[in-house]
Amino acid sequence: MKNSYLNILGLAFRAGKCSLGEETIVKDIQKNRAMLVLLANDIGPQTYKKLTNKCKTYEIPFRIVDDRETMSNAIGKSHRVAIAILDAGFAAKIKSLLG
């Protein structure tokens, strides 16, 4: 079950329904484009605080998932600690798989 959300994450990324990078994610949260924010479990404390506070303020759901390496491998990029899902369908599917 754990790996299936990574497959969906990879699909969402290839479909262009993800945003990467702290500043881009913050902008997408503020513009209510982000449907779900996935954070690596080894994210830095300052980045964690900044992104979770933004998510709470704008009522965007977020989940703590695997480490940065696992997340990065799923989308074929390196050193990604946060990914915002911009599509409601992908976000709902990932949330259901994560529980």
The CATH number given to whatever domain includes residue 26 is: 3.30.1330.30
- Residues 41-87: tens digit of each pLDDT: 999 999 999 999 999 999 999 999 999 999 999 999 999 999 999 99
| Cβ-based neighbour number of residue 51 at 10 Å | 23
Q: Strand, coil or helix: what is 40?
A: coil
Tokens describing residue 14: 């290839």
What range defines the domain where residue 12 resides? Answer: 2-98
Rounded (10°) angle between helices 2-14 and 88-98: 170
Count of structural domains within the chain? 1
Distance (Å, rounded) from C-alpha 54 to C-alpha 50? 6
AA identity, residue 55: C
| Cβ-based neighbour number of residue 47 at 10 Å | 15
pTM: 0.95
**Considering the chain, what percentage of its residues have pLDDT values greater than 70?**
98
Sort 45 into a burial class: Cβ within 10 Å, 0-12 / 13-18 / 19+. exposed
